[in-house]
A and B are shown apart, each in its own frame.
Chain A
Amino acid sequence: MEILFKIENLNLSYGDNHVLKDINMDLYKNQVTAFIGPSGCGKSTLLRCFNRMNDLIDNCKINGILEYENQDVNSIPAMELRTKVGMVFQSPNPFPMSIFDNIAYGPRCQGIKNKQTLNTIVINALKKAALYDEVKDRLKDNALGLSGGQQQRLCIARCIAMEPSVILMDEPTSALDPISTLKIEELIFELKKDYTIIIVTHNMGQAARVSDYTAFFLLGEVVEYAETSNLFKNPKNKKTEDYITGRFG
């Protein structure tokens, strides 16, 4: 399998707070990788390293190697990297503009002005995010009028519109009801044909359902990283077992 992200001895600290400790792992292309672990274990922080969102945080120090397609992420301009590595956030955060403008925002920022092109991009993205049928008659309506689940799928569509190769998802369903969660999970299943997906989740069932690989984080370290079926059936580490069986966390 092709390695997409290569992480070697990655250390990250916010000021004096050492958040990530000697992370070593390879993430594979066109696979869904889930990061699980208790709150504050650094899984979201690692996720934000992939598209350099940590750059925005003052006094954040990163040491070690993080390569995207054999290229150091810091050598790729952040804006360019973020068009290839898209991100979906914890709570749906559509812009307070129309559904169309939300999805066209990214392409427009890249300088695409042609209406026909934008139209195609928007419709394709909505179709891929399984939202098109629900909103096709009201593309001009404000996106904030959509339900939470629809808003999150809109955010996924907005991300897809940039034609990234990776989609990072930071607890994408934690603010959603069970039915919306199910829809997003189905969507992830569809999307993994075309995209590499890295998902942070608190829901172990979700990790088991949607991911191919799972990494268990604890206190800034990767305790165990393996194929999902292996990790959940025979965890090698006692801590992993305790966590997935719900004994702590």
Chain B
Amino acid sequence: MKFKKIINGFLNGIKHPVSTFKNAVRKSKKNSRKIKDGIINGVTYLFSTVGIVILLAILIFIFKNGFSTLSFDLLTDNYHAKIYNTLLVEDFTFHEYEDPNLKDVYFSSQWGVGFIDTLDNEGVDIVEIAYIDKLSPFMNVIDYGTHEYTSIKVGQQFVKAILDGPNGEFVSVLPKYGAEAVAEGFDLGVIITDMTTSSAGGGIRGSIITTIYLILLTLAIALPLGIGAAIYLSEYAPVNRVTNTIRSMIDMISGIPSIVFGFVGSAVFIPFMNGTIGSDGGSIASGALTLAIILLPVIIRTTEEGLRVVPQSFRNASLALGASETQTTFKVVLPNALGGILAAVLLSIGRIIGESAALIYAVGTSIKDQIAINQSSTSLAVHIWSVMAGDNPNFELSSAISIVILLVVFILSTIVKLVTKRLNKKVEK
């Protein structure tokens, strides 16, 4: 068949030499274009696939490492564990305690207490107190340090205990052999002479609070300044060389690495804050000022963009009704630019949550539980830095914090999209 086709083509070529030649050229052109297009498309697909795979791999790494560590306790616990040294009250009495038969809980029937093997927030094996009977002596103990009545609480970590046996023998209970051994050890004793428990540590509560403080304080400083500047640039400023220079300067500033702002900010704001609000070294306040400077270009440009897309016809209508320029700006233009302003706010929040380099200088790197504006502490991103900077970098905890950050940023960006879509719809309609 193929042979016949070629012969036919050849004969055809002799019969109509010109048109056959033209057809051949067209065919070969068509083919080479097909190949070229194929190569270009193939390369595009390849590159996009590689890009997406890399991004997915990072996400998978973070979720795989961090998901088991992530828990509600991680978000609400303090970073520094609180140690409780306790003694039993002198006139305690034993009762008959019923084993609640909880899963994986080892019960000491002598004391009415259950223990469980678990991991702490940083992924270390620990023994936790999982159950205390209402009548257990553990419900009424004396704190060694403060001499106050208190109780051991479910969820506390068991650190160590020393008991006396019925015949005066000495029983030492340590968590390193697991919850079962701890429960058995307790069953051997009749008097507890010394017991140490601790609250769960390694949590990121302090860093979450610091991050929230930073967001609120930074926005409170940067939004009025940024929106004001945007209104000036978009509504009042004449278009000339000076304002154009200002605009390009603002664009340039947004390209400066944040660590530069970090050390400049700390050189200026830390002494300033030390002098005014009595902080000692880096503080949330100086961090917020530094962040405000970093965010100003973003807020100015985003808001300006929002103001610019407000239709000129609104301004004309307002002015033609005898409104002043100021009234026009604040009653008509600004309300219609809310989408842009909101986008600026949420972009800023994303930047604040994600910023680390600038805050290492301006806020500090030591993780705190008691948060005050004039004290140093860490934001979530710097918390990761602190956890990773030591001798034993903790990938699990870092990944868990990353998941928290990712989720917050994801939620925020979704809100931005939804709200701007809605506001745009309102204006376009």
Residue of A nearest to B428 (CB): A144
- Using an 8 Å CB-CB cutoff, how does the interface string of A141-171 with B read, 1 for contact, 0 for none? 0101100000000010011001000000000
Quick check: which of B135-143, B319-327, B389-397 contacts chain A, the rest being far away? B319-327
Question: Provided the pairs A53-B316, A109-B331, A145-B429 are in contact, do residues A93 and B311 lie with their beta carbons within 8 angstroms?
Answer: yes
B324 touches A79 (CB 8 A): yes
B314 touches A79 (CB 8 A): no
B319 touches A109 (CB 8 A): no
B313 touches A105 (CB 8 A): no
Interface assignment of A137: CB less than 8 Å from any CB of chain B:
no
B314 touches A159 (CB 8 A): no
B322 touches A106 (CB 8 A): yes
Question: Provided the pairs A79-B324, A82-B322, A109-B323 are in contact, do residues A95 and B314 lie with their beta carbons within 8 angstroms?
Answer: yes
A158 touches B427 (CB 8 A): no
Quick check: which of A83-91, A195-203, A216-224, A229-237 contacts chain B, the rest being far away? A83-91
Interface assignment of B317: CB less than 8 Å from any CB of chain A:
yes
**What's the Cα separation between A142 and B425 when bound, in Å?**
13
Residue of B nearest to A82 (CB): B322
- A162 CB to nearest B CB, Å: 6
* Chain A, range 54-105, C-beta contacts under 8 Å to B: 56, 58, 79-80, 82-83, 86-87, 89, 91, 93-96, 105
A105 touches B321 (CB 8 A): yes
A106 touches B316 (CB 8 A): no
Could you say which residues of chain A place their CB within 8 Å of the CB of B324? 79, 109
A93 touches B316 (CB 8 A): yes
**What's the Cα separation between A83 and B324 when bound, in Å?**
11
Interface assignment of B386: CB less than 8 Å from any CB of chain A:
no
Interface assignment of B5: CB less than 8 Å from any CB of chain A:
no
- Using an 8 Å CB-CB cutoff, how does the interface string of B417-429 with A read, 1 for contact, 0 for none? 0000000001101
Residue of B nearest to A84 (CB): B322
**What's the Cα separation between A96 and B311 when bound, in Å?**
11
B313 touches A82 (CB 8 A): no
- A17 CB to nearest B CB, Å: 18
**What's the Cα separation between A51 and B323 when bound, in Å?**
13
Interface assignment of B279: CB less than 8 Å from any CB of chain A:
no
Residue of B nearest to A55 (CB): B319
- A15 CB to nearest B CB, Å: 14
Interface assignment of A117: CB less than 8 Å from any CB of chain B:
no
B429 touches A144 (CB 8 A): yes
Could you say which residues of chain A place their CB within 8 Å of the CB of B336? 96
B319 touches A105 (CB 8 A): no
Interface assignment of B85: CB less than 8 Å from any CB of chain A:
no
- Give the contacting residue for A106; candidates B311, B321, B426, B429; CB below 8 A: B321
Interface assignment of B188: CB less than 8 Å from any CB of chain A:
no
- B134 CB to nearest A CB, Å: 60
- Give the contacting residue for A89; candidates B316, B327, B332; CB below 8 A: B316
A105 touches B318 (CB 8 A): yes
Interface assignment of A119: CB less than 8 Å from any CB of chain B:
no
Question: Provided the pairs A53-B316, A95-B332, A109-B331 are in contact, do residues A162 and B426 lie with their beta carbons within 8 angstroms?
Answer: no
Interface assignment of A9: CB less than 8 Å from any CB of chain B:
no
Residue of A nearest to B324 (CB): A79
Question: Provided the pairs A91-B313, A93-B314, A105-B331 are in contact, do residues A86 and B320 lie with their beta carbons within 8 angstroms?
Answer: yes
B319 touches A56 (CB 8 A): yes
Question: Provided the pairs A96-B336, A105-B331, A109-B327 are in contact, do residues A82 and B317 lie with their beta carbons within 8 angstroms?
Answer: no
- B283 CB to nearest A CB, Å: 43
* Chain A, range 93-142, C-beta contacts under 8 Å to B: 93-96, 105-106, 109-110, 142
Residue of B nearest to A106 (CB): B321
**What's the Cα separation between A132 and B322 when bound, in Å?**
24
Residue of A nearest to B323 (CB): A109
- Using an 8 Å CB-CB cutoff, how does the interface string of B232-243 with A read, 1 for contact, 0 for none? 000000010000
**What's the Cα separation between A162 and B324 when bound, in Å?**
14
**What's the Cα separation between A96 and B313 when bound, in Å?**
12
Most chain-B CB neighbours within 10 Å: which of A58, A95, A144?
A95
**What's the Cα separation between A144 and B428 when bound, in Å?**
9
B321 touches A82 (CB 8 A): yes
Could you say which residues of chain A place their CB within 8 Å of the CB of B313? 89, 91, 93
Could you say which residues of chain A place their CB within 8 Å of the CB of B318? 95, 105, 109
**What's the Cα separation between A96 and B425 when bound, in Å?**
11
**What's the Cα separation between A59 and B316 when bound, in Å?**
18
**What's the Cα separation between A173 and B368 when bound, in Å?**
68
A51 touches B321 (CB 8 A): no
**What's the Cα separation between A95 and B429 when bound, in Å?**
11
- Using an 8 Å CB-CB cutoff, how does the interface string of B289-333 with A read, 1 for contact, 0 for none? 000000000000000000000010110111111111001000110
B320 touches A53 (CB 8 A): yes
B317 touches A95 (CB 8 A): yes
Could you say which residues of chain B place their CB within 8 Å of the CB of A96? 336, 426-427, 429
Q: Kindly list 14 other residue pairs between chains A and B, CB separation below 8 angstroms, not including A109-B322, A159-B321.
A: A53-B316, A58-B239, A82-B319, A86-B321, A87-B320, A89-B313, A89-B317, A93-B316, A93-B317, A96-B429, A105-B321, A142-B426, A145-B429, A158-B317
Q: List 5 A-B contacts (CB under 8 A).
A: A51-B320, A58-B239, A109-B322, A158-B317, A159-B320
Interface residues in chain B, defined as those with a beta carbon under 8 Å from any beta carbon in chain A: 239, 311, 313-314, 316-324, 327, 331-332, 336, 426-427, 429
